[in-house]
Structures are given as structure tokens and as C-alpha cells.
Amino acid sequence: MKLSLLALATLLAAALTRPTQGAGLPATTAVHVEASAQSAVATYLKAGEEPRPAAATMAPAGWMAVDLPGPFEVYVENKDLTKSLDVRPGAALRQAPKADAPVLVTAGAAEKATITGIRGRWTQLNLERPLVGFIQTPATPGAAPAPAPARPETPAAATAPAPVNPGVYGAATAGQPVSMVNLGDGGSSSLPRQYAGRFVSTRRPFAPRRPYDYALLDDSGQRFAYLDVSRLLQTEQVEKYVDLPVNVYGTARPGPDGREIILTVETLQLR
């Protein structure tokens, strides 16, 4: 009888050190990128939500490894993008477009991500691979909910693209980002994506003509890419978009000298 009571007490103690299966978390819980309260917070699990244990990852005492399916919004410096707009392996993927923002993860080889916006010298990405995070255990009943995660300040001209309309080439449903592909060869394997910025004319009186008559500027006013509008319908009144914020949906390729980006425009919309 004493042995049975001891075994029962051991099982009860183990149950109290982790979230009860099916019971859900008693309070909003921060999910850290490492098993440390000082590490960056990847996301928050809501009260009542049941964490998904990461069976293949060991966690130290007082912590539980959980699977995070994603996607995740991250930012990478423009210098860490290749000419084909792929993320360089080892680049820091941060949670906000600033150098001191927490690093969510470092980019791996052939990282699967989608460009969703431009923030000056930063590029906004949709990181599609799953991650492993860590939550503290046990969760204390009645604990005050964790504060909501801080969001990066939105510039006056928002750079996050509007949802893609159903039926637009390269996307099947509204709001579904276009898949990231290697554009280095500029061939048929390149797929369109959506970009946001200010549509401008490159033509200036008494100045040499640029390779293309239109360009896309980022939030800092720097040219992000030249725009090839030759595929637009002849009835499209391109001039009406000059100096206005737009969403450009098209295919990117490196310019002849490798220093410029050319976007072949499929659709053009006001933001």
C-alpha cells in the first residue's frame, strides 16, 4: 500500500509540472526562442490553448519545447538579399525593421520565405517554415496575463501589401502570398510576387532617358526597382499612378549590370 501511494504521489507531482493534456493553458503564455526568460518572444499562446509538444527537442527543467507552425513575419536587411532576391544563409531574421530588434531565427540554406513589403533598408518577409519555441512550466493559476507582443511602428505610408485578389496569376486565394522562387536565371521558373511602394516617372526634362520610364520607390524615397510596364493592356492609363502609393504585382529580375532590379508588371493597383 505504501508503494502504491508513493507511485501515485510521483505521478501527481509530474502532472503538476506540465500543462494538463487537453486542459489548455490557464493564462496567456509567452513562447521564447530559447529556454530562457531573457530570450526573444516568438509569439504568445492564448489562455485555454493547448501547446503542441516538440517531441524531438529536449528542454531543461521548468521548460517545455513546443512546435510553432508559422508563418512568421520577419525582417532582413536589404544587403542580406542576393541579386535573385533570396535570403543569404546565416542572415539574421529580426522581429522588427531595426538593427537592435530581437532575432527570431537565422536564415538557413534555400530559406523558404516570401517578400511582403519594403521598409527602407529592410525587407519584410513571410517566413513559412515551422519553429520550435519554449514555454515555462508550470503555469501558475491566476497569474496575470502576459502583455501583448509589441508591434513595429507602422510608417506613414504602410508597406505591407494589400491582399491579392482571387484569380490573380500566382495566387489561388485572397491574401495568399506568392511562393518564393529563385529568380537568378530570369527564366520561366520565375513567378510573380506583390510589392508595395510609390510609383514615379523617371523622365526628366533635358536629362538622359532612363532604361525604363517608371520606377518603384521605397519608404525612404530610394529607388527599389525599375518598372517594365510593357505587359499592361494598351488601355491602361499608367500616368494616373505617378506619385501615388501602389501595389505592383509582377516578376523581378536583375538588370543587365546586376545592380538594378527590374519588375515586369502584371497588375498595378492603388493602395
- pLDDT at res. 93: 93
| DSSP 8-state assignment for residue 78 | G
Q: Locate 51 and state its grid cell.
A: 501547446
pTM, entire model: 0.48
- pLDDT at res. 94: 92
- pLDDT at res. 150: 56
Backbone angles phi, psi at 80, to 5 degrees: -95, 15
Vertex 116: Cα angle to 200 and 114 (nearest 5): 130
Mean pLDDT by 10 residues, the chain (271 residues): 50 47 76 89 86 87 90 89 86 90 89 79 86 78 49 48 38 38 41 83 85 87 86 72 87 77 84 79
Q: Domain ranges in the chain?
A: 26-140, 193-270
Contact 223, 216 (CB under 8 A): yes
Q: Is 88 exposed, middle or buried (0-12, 13-18, 19+ CB in 10 A)?
A: middle
Around Cβ 171, how many Cβ atoms within 10 Å?
Answer: 21
Q: Locate 235 and state its grid cell.
A: 488601355
- The candidate with the shortest Cα–Cα distance to 114, out of 129, 126, 104, 124, is 126
Phi/psi class of residue 76: alpha, beta or left (left: φ > 0; alpha: ψ in -120 to 50)?
Answer: beta
Around Cβ 167, how many Cβ atoms within 10 Å?
Answer: 9
Task: State the residue for C-alpha cell 514555454.
Answer: 135
